[in-house]
Structure 1
Amino acid sequence: MKISYRQGYLKQPTYDDLMYTKRLWEDEETMAFNKKWGGTIVFPKEEWMSFYERYCIDDPHYVYYHIYNNNHEFIGEVSSRSSDLITHHLNIKVLASMRGHQHGYHALNAYLEYLFNTPHATIVVDDVASDNQGAIHLLKKCGFIIEKENSEIVYMRLDKHQFDGHNK
């Protein structure tokens, strides 16, 4: 499935497209935000099939897309997971080399519009490291509000009705 937006599109990856996921997760500059929790994520090919079966094959509990620009260049990923199909826990990563061009903002808005148009999704949340000001700014720009925060984590939330009002 493909979701288009002004600057590019979201596409569910094929198995072979997971090479881009590997590149994203193993890029030190991109994953610098994750230093407190180990930094880069090693993603050997032996783990691809189990990841692919969970995140990329029509399970509404796991929604995973790659982000591409209009030149078909890989930009990053956006995904969510949910145990109850109502509250979705967000993940978005944009390659460090592609940041600063509104890719994350437009991709996230397209993703949220898609997610909130599913039958059950009504809440999207994200736990952001308190020093990840770029992510906090992005989420606020998309309508998320800070629900709780401490010295380590900023817990942000967006309800479906807030998103609808934010984007009209």
Structure 2
Amino acid sequence: MELYKPDLKDLWFREKFMNDPDTMSYNNAWGGTIAFPESKWEDWYDYWIINHDDKRFYRYLKEGDTFVGEIAYHLDEKRNVWIADVIIPFEYRGKGYGTQGLRLLCEAAANNGIAILYDDIAIDNPGISLFLKAGFCEEYRTDEYIMLKKVLSNRIQIEEITYEKIDEFWDEHIKYLVADGAKYYELNSEKDASVRFWKSLGFIPNGVDEYDMPLFIKKDNGSISNALG
């Protein structure tokens, strides 16, 4: 299976499965099928494929010469989270495409610098099990949906974080290392302002990561809040 960046003319596939009641049954809580006529293709394509502004990612799943699904993620700016999307048409389910597609989506998101993916799934959607098996966990739930979450990387490229918000990011984003019986924190950062910030907390250079980004390390001598004084 491979990821395929669709051309405008390929959107017939999306129109077809979005108009299929069996495929879109997961969306029954929000109206079921979704009309996607050709008259909407160009605007949608411009928004999702051409001018995505690094806030949206969309690909088809392709097995041989056959389109078998779609994967996507986008930045929900209201909640400030990255929301995942995987749809396998009904006729192609039960073949492992959903599992493969979700794995490829997580890999693509991680490669594009996304640290955490979320998905809000209707409470009665059997697809929840697919996400749980892929390492997502429940963040919270309402009467209508479950919010699932997966941390894609324990390291995140952190830009400028205010002192007031540092604890909010700390435990979730920084990689823990254990050596010589002590715990260390490791992160990557390359922007001058970020490097100055982390050095002010006692981080020191520690080589580079697999993406050739500078790594910094600090021994755990208490909470970062204490280090801020």
Give 1:12's aligned residue. Answer: 5
Query: Secondary structure at 2:117's aligned position in 1?
Result: strand
The superposition leaves residues 9-49 of structure 1 with CA deviations (integer Å, 9 ceiling, x where unpaired) of: 11111000111110111111100111121110000111111
> Which of the numbers 100, 103, 128 marks the counterpart of 2:97?
103
> Which of the numbers 123, 129, 139 marks the counterpart of 2:131?
139
Q: Equivalences for 1:8-87 in 2 at 5 Å? A: 8-57=1-50, 59=52, 60-69=54-63, 71-82=64-75, 87=81
Q: Aligned partners of 2:84, 2:104: CA distance in 1, in Å?
A: 13
Instruction: Report percent identity of matched pairs.
Output: 27
Unaligned runs of 5+ in 2: 155-229
1:124 aligns with 2:120: no
Deviation >3 Å, runs of 4+: none
- The structure with higher relative contact order (CA 8 Å, sep 6+) is 1
Q: Aligned partners of 2:6, 2:147: CA distance in 1, in Å?
A: 28
Query: Secondary structure at 2:71's aligned position in 1?
Result: strand
Query: Secondary structure at 2:98's aligned position in 1?
Result: helix
Unaligned runs of 5+ in 1: 1-7, 163-168
TM-score by length of 1: 0.84
The superposition leaves residues 46-81 of structure 1 with CA deviations (integer Å, 9 ceiling, x where unpaired) of: 111110001112621110011111x32111111011
Give 1:148's aligned residue. Answer: 140
Query: Secondary structure at 2:8's aligned position in 1?
Result: coil
Q: CA deviation at 1:91?
A: 1.1
Larger radius of gyration: 2
RMSD: 1.5
TM-score by length of 2: 0.63
In 1, are the aligned partners of 2:116 and 2:153 still within 8 Å (CA)? Answer: no
In 2, are the aligned partners of 1:87 and 1:122 still within 8 Å (CA)? Answer: no
